[in-house]
């Protein structure tokens, strides 16, 4: 009689094309190789995915952030999930370091789609059994899934780096009212640093008008904290206002460096001492600049994958 697969031998790790370097780092942390997968594109643009080893009865983890090109990477993730389901994987976990369409998480006007929920439905219907996501734009997205979801945070990586810099007179700043809970949690772990809030009025998508600062920032080192930086309009205007209010230095921290449109020119304008992000989204050379610091979340994701596989606590990592 052939021996059954042990739980450790059931673990399989595959990567989509969105961020292969991050997936390779995760694999190294886990002491394993990425599984072989054939990926190609037909002349009309259709994607083809084939898993090139047996995964029958295995616990499969698919690493794929849904970053730009968003629709291509999301579709690739769905095809990977479907391929694993049809290959009789025991459990399929979609590891999504960056979750696309997360900002469309509610209706703000008539006849709008709640696209964050639609994407959750697509991933679930494709055959995923579990989700591992990092720094979702809003906590409510966890409730959009009818399957288990583990939500992890990039803040430990960002906090460790800030602590190593020994910055003095810190004040943590939320760039808008919606990010207060995130900034408060960040401030608490920085030795209960004081909190300030930027009051913002948004005129249109990707356009923000900063109004005033709630809190004392004069003579302090201000740390702007957000989940993502897209066009950097909010961060730049926030930094400019903090300077006007007397902040000595301004740092910006975010987990996801989306960096669309004019983001690089805005962030490298000299208004911000350092822009600290993680590698949930790969940045090519054209999106890197002198003030940018990229930190890796590979070990954090690798440890989370191992804990899920071993049925251990994930939340205890963040206490």
φ, ψ (nearest 5 deg) of residue 216 = -95, 120
> 227 and 305, same structural domain?
no
Domain range for 70: 8-153+299-318
Tell me if 83 is assigned to some domain.
yes
> 183 and 94, same structural domain?
no
> 136 and 185, same structural domain?
no
> 240 and 147, same structural domain?
no
Per-residue pLDDT of 48-97, as tens digits, reads 999 999 999 999 999 999 999 999 999 999 999 999 999 999 999 999 99
Tell me if 1 is assigned to some domain.
no
Residues β-bridged to residue 149? 131
CA atoms within 13 A of residue 9's CA, in its CB half-sphere = 7
> 308 and 289, same structural domain?
no
User: Is the pLDDT reported for residue 204 higher than 70?
Assistant: no
Q: Tally the domains of the chain.
A: 2
User: Is the pLDDT reported for residue 14 higher than 90?
Assistant: yes
Tell me if 81 is assigned to some domain.
yes
Phi-psi sector, 103: left (phi>0), alpha (psi -120 to 50), beta: alpha
Per-residue pLDDT of 254-313, as tens digits, reads 999 999 999 999 999 999 999 999 999 999 999 999 999 999 999 999 999 999 999 999
> 200 and 188, same structural domain?
yes
271 to each of 158, 232, 236, how far by Cα in Å? Answer: 20, 12, 7
Q: How many residues does the chain have?
A: 319
> 217 and 86, same structural domain?
no
Tell me if 224 is assigned to some domain.
yes
- What CATH number does residue 306 fall under? 3.40.50.2020
> 243 and 224, same structural domain?
yes
Tell me if 166 is assigned to some domain.
yes
> 143 and 48, same structural domain?
yes
**Catalytic-residue membership of 117:** no
Amino acid 66: pLDDT: 98
Per-residue pLDDT of 189-203, as tens digits, reads 999 999 999 987 666
Residue of 107, 117, 189, 200 marked catalytic:
200
> 107 and 164, same structural domain?
no
| Residues whose CB is less than 8 angstroms from the CB of residue 35 and which lie 6 or more positions away in sequence, other chains included | 12, 13, 14, 51, 52, 53, 55, 60
> 163 and 30, same structural domain?
no
Tell me if 3 is assigned to some domain.
no
- Check if the beta carbon of residue 107 is closer than 8 Å to that of residue 74: no
Amino acid 2: pLDDT: 39
Tell me if 2 is assigned to some domain.
no
> 234 and 224, same structural domain?
yes
């Amino acid at each position: 009689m052939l021996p059954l697969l042990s739980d450790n031998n059931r673990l399989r790790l595959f990567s989509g094309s969105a961020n292969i370097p991050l997936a390779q780092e995760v694999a190294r942390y886990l002491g394993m190789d990425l599984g072989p997968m054939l990926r190609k594109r037909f002349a009309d643009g259709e994607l083809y995915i084939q898993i090139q080893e047996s995964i029958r009865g295995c616990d499969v983890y698919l690493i794929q952030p849904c970053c730009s090109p968003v629709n291509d990477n999301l579709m690739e993730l769905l095809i990977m999930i479907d391929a694993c389901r049809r290959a009789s994987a025991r459990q399929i976990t979609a590891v999504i370091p960056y979750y696309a369409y997360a900002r469309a998480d509610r209706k703000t006007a008539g006849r709008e789609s709640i696209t964050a929920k639609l994407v959750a439905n697509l991933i679930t219907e494709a055959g995923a059994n579990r989700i591992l996501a990092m720094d979702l734009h809003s906590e409510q997205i966890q409730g959009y899934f009818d399957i288990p979801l583990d939500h992890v945070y990039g803040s430990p990586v960002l906090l460790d780096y800030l602590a190593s810099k020994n910055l003095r007179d810190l004040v943590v700043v939320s760039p808008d009212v919606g990010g207060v809970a995130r900034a408060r949690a960040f401030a608490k772990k920085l030795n209960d640093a004081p909190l300030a809030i930027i009051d913002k009025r948004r005129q249109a998508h990707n356009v923000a008008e900063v109004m005033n600062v709630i809190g004392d920032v004069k003579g302090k080192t201000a740390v702007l904290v957000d989940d993502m930086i897209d066009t950097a309009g909010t961060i730049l205007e926030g930094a400019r206002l903090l300077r006007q209010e007397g902040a000595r230095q301004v740092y910006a921290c975010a987990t996801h460096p989306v960096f669309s449109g004019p983001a690089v020119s805005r962030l490298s304008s000299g208004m911000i001492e350092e822009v600290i992000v993680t590698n949930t989204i790969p940045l090519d050379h054209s999106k890197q600049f002198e003030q940018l610091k990229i930190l890796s979340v590979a070990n954090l994701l690798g440890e989370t994958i191992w804990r899920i596989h071993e049925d251990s606590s994930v939340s205890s990592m963040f206490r």
